[in-house]
Amino acid sequence: MREPRVLTAAEAILEAQDQALAADPAVFLMGEGAADPKGIFGTTAGLVDKYGPARVMEMPVSENGFTGIAVGAALMGRRPVVIHQRVEFCLLAMEQLFGNAAKAHYVSDGRHRAPLVVRLVAGRGWGQGPQHGQVLENLFALVPGLKLVLPAGPADAKGMLLAAIADDNPVIFLEHRWVHYVSGEVPEAPLPAPLDGPRRILAGGDVTVVAASYMTLETRHAAAALAAEGVAVDLFDLRVARPLVTDAIQESVRRTGRLLVVDTGWKTFGLGAEIVARVTESCFADMAAPPRRVGLPDHPTPSSRALAEAYYPRAEHVAGAIGALVGLPDARVAAVHATLAAERRQVPLDIPHPSFKGPF
């Protein structure tokens, strides 16, 4: 029997770009650090040696400019992959993204295409703080014409990145830094994973839970702990936040009568708001309990780990929300909470993985 081929998501992203560069001469990378010795947390490591600096382009510190340049090249049929080491750097490029990239196809009545990928790495780690620690997934979901992809593990990180590069639309590929560390089986072949919406990753009849990006992992832990208490979660990994496809979620809620959405952004005006609203509008009659959301509280990301601990929800909080939703008795919720919290305490709360040595 063949050994499973295990990669981290960071390695999977590297492999996807390597294969895309090899397969299509129109593909090229642009990023501050894309060609430097650290290669965007290793996700572009070695590519400049293999493909040269014209295809793995090191960028000046000019996010708005090179995003617009990427859009212009894309309109000419090139396939740029723009990379930002932090989501926040892309705030400088909103006009190009929301204006030119998102609208080129529409305003040209379908004649222009902007096959552009924007990789955004969401910072979390040691004290990244207010301006290096935001995910802002809701921001990138706002505008029609953009796609927003949120990989939660290595297989999707590779497959969805390949699909994003092959897509004729501008795609925001939002990588949570802590997802980079997750490992799992990844096929070697360059198989795109369709950008077609949520995937059920656990089947269960008690409650429908939709999770996004890194929080899919925390939620999976929560669901596993709850399974021991007899709670069966129908768990979806959101994967694609725009265009937002909720049919499978609605079908599930019609069965379970209960909905929880867990995302990595602020709860207020977050992805969860739209999912809750849409599902409630269409499944109201089948719902047995009010929907719920788990998200970040309404304040900036604090740097100090003492404050960050209060900021980031974890598996135990997700489990608490699910427990409340299905009416699990308090004592059993408390037991699950305790188990999960104890597990989590084995690694400090501000690091994603034992291999992590800070600060990123």
Partner 1 sequence: MNPAREPSDQELRDLYRAMLRIRLIEEEIAARYAEQEMRCPVHLSVGQEAAAVGACAALRPADQITSSHRCHGHYLAKGGDLRAMLAEIYGKAAGCCGGRGGSMHLFDPDAGVLASVPIVASSVPLAVGAALAFQQRAEDGVAVAFLGDGSLEEGVTHESLNFASRFHLPVVFFVENNFFSVYTPLDQRQPARPLAALAAAHGMPALEADGNDVLAVLKATKEAVADARAGAGPTLIVAETYRWREHCGPNYDNDLGYRTEDEFLAWKARDPVAAFAARLSELGAMTDTDSDAMAGAIGAEIDAAFGFAKAAPFPDGATAAERVYA
Ligand X SMILES: Cc1ncc(C[n+]2csc(CCOP(=O)(O)OP(=O)(O)O)c2C)c(N)n1
169 binds, among its own copies, partner 1, ligand X, none (CB under 5 to 8 A by kind): partner 1
Considering the rule CB under 8 A, would residue 251 count as an interface residue with its own copies? no
User: Least Å distance between CB 266 and partner 1?
Assistant: 11
Place of tokens 């939660």: 152
161 vs 271, beta carbon nearer its own copies: 271
> Is 317 annotated in the active site?
no
80 vs 272, beta carbon nearer its own copies: 272
Q: Which stretch binds its own copies (CB under 8 A): 15-23, 196-204, 237-245, 332-340?
A: 237-245
272 binds, among ligand X, partner 1, its own copies, none (CB under 5 to 8 A by kind): its own copies
124 vs 220, beta carbon nearer partner 1: 124
User: Least Å distance between CB 134 and ligand X?
Assistant: 13
Q: Which residue among 106, 188, 327, 334 contacts its own copies (CB under 8 A)?
A: 106
Q: Which residue among 1, 54, 61, 285 contacts ligand X (CB under 6 A)?
A: 61
Catalytic residue from among 132, 180, 221, 337: 132
> Is 180 annotated in the active site?
no
3-state SS of the chain is: CCCCCEEEHHHHHHHHHHHHHHHCCCEEEEECCCCCCCCCCCCCCCHHHHHCCCCEEECCCCHHHHHHHHHHHHHCCCEEEEEECCHHHHHHHHHHHHHHHHHHHHHCCCCCCCCCEEEEEECCCCCCCCCCCCCCHHHHHCCCCCEEECCCCHHHHHHHHHHHHHCCCCEEEEEECCCCCCEEECCCCCCCCCCCCCEEEECCCCEEEEECCHHHHHHHHHHHHHHCCCCCEEEEECCEEECCCCHHHHHHHHHHCCEEEEEEEECCCCHHHHHHHHHHHHHHHHCCCCCEEEEECCCCCCCCHHHHHHHCCCHHHHHHHHHHHHCCCHHHHHHHHHHHHHHHHCCCCCCCCCCCCCCC
16-45 positions binding ligand X, by CB under 6 A: 32
Considering the rule CB under 8 A, would residue 1 count as an interface residue with partner 1? no
**Residue 292 half-sphere exposure, CB side, CA atoms within 13 Å?**
19
Considering the rule CB under 8 A, would residue 131 count as an interface residue with its own copies? yes
User: Least Å distance between CB 94 and its own copies?
Assistant: 5
Q: Which residue among 96, 216, 246, 256 contacts partner 1 (CB under 8 A)?
A: 96
x/- map, 181-200, partner 1, by CB under 8 A:
--------------------
200 binds, among ligand X, its own copies, partner 1, none (CB under 5 to 8 A by kind): none
260 closest CA partner among 236, 229, 227, 226: 236
Considering the rule CB under 6 A, would residue 76 count as an interface residue with ligand X? no
Q: Which residue among 67, 138, 216, 264 contacts its own copies (CB under 8 A)?
A: 138
171 closest CA partner among 107, 123, 101: 101
156 closest CA partner among 101, 204, 217, 115: 217
Catalytic residue from among 63, 88, 137, 316: 63
173 closest CA partner among 152, 188, 191: 152
Q: Which residue among 51, 89, 178, 181 contacts ligand X (CB under 6 A)?
A: 89
3-62 positions binding partner 1, by CB under 8 A: 28, 32-33, 35-38, 54, 58-62
137-176 positions binding partner 1, by CB under 8 A: 144-145, 147, 168-169
Q: How many residues bind its own copies (CB under 8 A)?
A: 50
Peptide bond just before 348 cis, omega within 30 deg: no
Contacts to ligand X by CB under 6 A: 32, 61, 63, 85, 89, 92
Positions marked active-site: 63, 132
Contacts to its own copies by CB under 8 A: 64, 88, 91-92, 94-95, 98-99, 102-103, 106-107, 129-131, 136, 138-139, 141-145, 242-244, 266, 268-269, 271-274, 276-278, 280-282, 284-285, 287, 289-293, 298-300
